[in-house]
């Protein structure tokens, strides 16, 4: 009975918890595998920058139409594409590296987005845009997230081998195939798309957390890309369930609770994973004493 009251009842008795669970699980299904590829490409901070980059477009949608899903989503997509292309152009045609240009663009985007939201909205609206409201997901938002998940999984299935090849050796892929550059832009499109989907539930500041923390944790348990993606998905789903339950029982903000749950798994993986710190020290000690 206690197990039912604490673990099951919130999702059975309340419709908002059911929608929050469905939305967060769909986000895990789509964004966690993308996070694995983002991590393997050593582009984790790029994902964080892109999460901030969508803010001005979403803020313009909010300024014109209020908290309507479609305008904010379209605005976020446009802003994300513009920032990605702008940062890429700066790094290609100037002496500045891509990480520096991306950092500059995302800082400008973040400041501009906060300013635009502040022109019309209150501090509550700003918090909604920055941190999301997973407990307030409606059917329209769920349909959007489900569509993004379907597009992401289909794209990953079609370009799976090319994505893995580009992660491991992008120069080799470009030398033997013309898919290198198109696959790179397809992947950036998936990143932006999933960040826009995550923005609906977790806001611009936390949407990248569900993408990267489960992927980073899975890295300590698996070495192959396929198992890593599956494990990241499982960690993301478990973090969503744990975070929502923690939010419900302890009256905590749901988005941060989900990300902190994933953070706990990440810290545990650092210490206890087969590829983590403790196992590495044990192997090193055995090698020295052998």
* Full DSSP string of 81-145: HHHHHHHHHHHHHSSS-HHHHHHHHHHHHHHHHHHHHHHH--HHHHHHHHH--GGG--HHHHHHH
pLDDT exceeds 90 at position 227: yes
How would residue 243 be classed by pLDDT, with cut points 50, 70 and 90?
A: very high
Q: What is the CATH number of domain 16-289?
A: 1.10.3470.10
Q: What is the pLDDT of residues 72-108, one digit of tens each?
A: 888 888 888 888 777 767 776 776 776 677 778 778 8
Q: Taking CA 149 as the corner, what is the angle to CA 145 and CA 152, rounded to the nearest 5 degrees? A: 135
Q: What is the mean pLDDT of residues 206-217?
A: 90
Q: What is the average pLDDT value for the chain, to the nearest integer?
A: 83
pLDDT exceeds 80 at position 269: yes
pLDDT exceeds 60 at position 290: no
pLDDT exceeds 90 at position 28: yes
Please give the Cα distance from 143 to 46 (Å, whole number): 27
How would residue 202 be classed by pLDDT, with cut points 50, 70 and 90?
A: confident
Phi/psi for 117 (5° steps) reads -60, -40
How would residue 138 be classed by pLDDT, with cut points 50, 70 and 90?
A: confident
- In the prediction, which pLDDT does 72 show? 82
With pLDDT > 90 as the criterion, what percentage of the chain qualifies? 31
Please give the Cα distance from 38 to 42 (Å, whole number): 6
How would residue 283 be classed by pLDDT, with cut points 50, 70 and 90?
A: low
Q: What is the pLDDT of residues 160-182, one digit of tens each?
A: 988 888 777 777 666 777 777 78
Phi/psi for 221 (5° steps) reads -115, -20
Q: Residue ranges of the domains in the chain?
A: 16-289
Q: What is the mean pLDDT of residues 238-252?
A: 93
* Range ranked top by mean pLDDT from 116-120, 153-157, 188-192: 153-157
- Tokens encoding 24: 């967060």
pLDDT exceeds 80 at position 146: yes
């Amino acid at each position: 009975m206690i197990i039912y009251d604490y673990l099951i009842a919130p999702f059975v008795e309340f419709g908002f918890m059911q929608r929050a669970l469905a939305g967060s699980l769909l986000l895990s299904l789509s964004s966690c595998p993308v996070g694995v590829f983002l991590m393997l490409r050593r582009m984790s901070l790029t994902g964080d920058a892109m999460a901030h980059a969508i803010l001005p477009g979403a803020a313009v949608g909010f300024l014109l139409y209020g908290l309507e899903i479609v305008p904010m989503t379209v605005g976020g997509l446009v802003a994300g594409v513009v920032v990605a292309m702008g940062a890429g152009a700066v790094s290609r045609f100037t002496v500045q590296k891509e990480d520096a240009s991306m950092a500059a663009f995302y800082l400008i985007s973040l400041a501009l987005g906060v300013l635009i939201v502040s022109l019309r909205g209150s501090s509550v609206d700003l918090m909604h845009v920055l941190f999301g409201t997973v407990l307030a997901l409606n059917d329209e938002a769920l349909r959007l997230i489900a569509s993004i998940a379907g597009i992401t999984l289909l794209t990953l299935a079609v370009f799976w081998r090319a994505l893995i090849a580009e992660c491991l050796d992008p120069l080799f892929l470009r030398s033997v195939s013309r898919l290198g550059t198109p696959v790179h832009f397809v992947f950036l499109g998936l990143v932006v798309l999933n960040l826009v989907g995550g923005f609906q539930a977790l806001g611009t500041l936390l949407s990248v957390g569900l993408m990267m923390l489960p992927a980073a944790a899975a890295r300590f348990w698996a070495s192959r890309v396929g198992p890593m993606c599956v494990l990241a998905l499982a960690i993301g789903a478990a973090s969503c369930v744990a975070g929502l339950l923690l939010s419900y029982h302890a009256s905590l903000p749901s988005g941060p609770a989900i990300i902190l749950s994933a953070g706990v798994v990440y810290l545990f993986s650092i210490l206890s994973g087969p590829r983590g710190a403790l196992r590495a020290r044990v192997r090193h000690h055995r090698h020295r004493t052998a």
